[in-house]
Structure 1
Amino acid sequence: MSTDALREMVERISWFSPVDYEIFLFLETHDILVSPKILAENIGYDRQYVYKRLRVLTEAELLESNDGIYELTDLGRKFLAGDVDEDDLPEP
């Protein structure tokens, strides 16, 4: 699935950054546990920036972290399926 397809699949979230779509695209496509460094290498963004966005997405309960390793939450999977609106997301 392309980034454009992902953007069409989920509602545009006002506080999202373009890298957030790349993060979701990678996690949806690979469904693996991933570190910020590995994720950044695979999506072509700076590791520090990816780490900051991962923290925001974790605060919004779309991702969860266990010792710096990230994965989608059930809410994140529902969001990708188009079943969650911005109003349903916790404020990061």
Structure 2
Amino acid sequence: MTGSDDVILEFLDDTGAGHNLRGIANNFEDRGIEISYKTVTRRVPKLESAELIRVLPGEGRYFAITEKGKAYLRGEADLREEPDPNE
């Protein structure tokens, strides 16, 4: 996990809504969070493969945090046995 991963998860948790990649990056820029669109596009698929976020049903690819992602943020999920999302 990277610092960017935590910020992405916290953003999705705080907003409680689904966002596409550009929406996440635009919100970061608007809030002065220095995580680029390129980083978002690289990290979100890894968070999805670790089941910390999911794609919402419907048109487009909008991402929302999962219960596992929320547990991770609360310090309740042990990810040491999980595949490394950095790979």
Which TM-score band (shorter chain)? 0.7 to 0.9
Structure 1-normalised TM-score?
A: 0.71
Structure 2-normalised TM-score?
A: 0.75
Structure whose residues are more often helix by fraction: 1
1:64 match: secondary structure: strand
Structure 1 residue runs without a partner (length 5+): 1-15
Structure 2 residue runs without a partner (length 5+): 30-34
Change (3 A) 1:91 1:18: closer
Which consecutive aligned stretches of 4+ in structure 1 deviate over 4 angstroms post-superposition?
A: none
| 1:49 correspondence with 2:39 | yes
Contact 2:19 2:63 in 1 (8 A): yes
> How far apart are 1:88 and its partner, in Å?
4.5
Identity %: 25
Match of 2:4 in 1: 19
1:41 match: secondary structure: helix
- CA–CA distance in structure 1, aligned partners of residues 41 and 70 of structure 2: 20
> How far apart are 1:91 and its partner, in Å?
3.4
- CA–CA distance in structure 2, aligned partners of residues 65 and 90 of structure 1: 19
User: Given residue 19 of structure 2, which amino acid in structure 1 is its aligned partner?
Assistant: V
1:75 match: secondary structure: helix
Question: Pairwise CA RMSD of aligned residues?
Answer: 1.6
| 1:39 correspondence with 2:39 | no
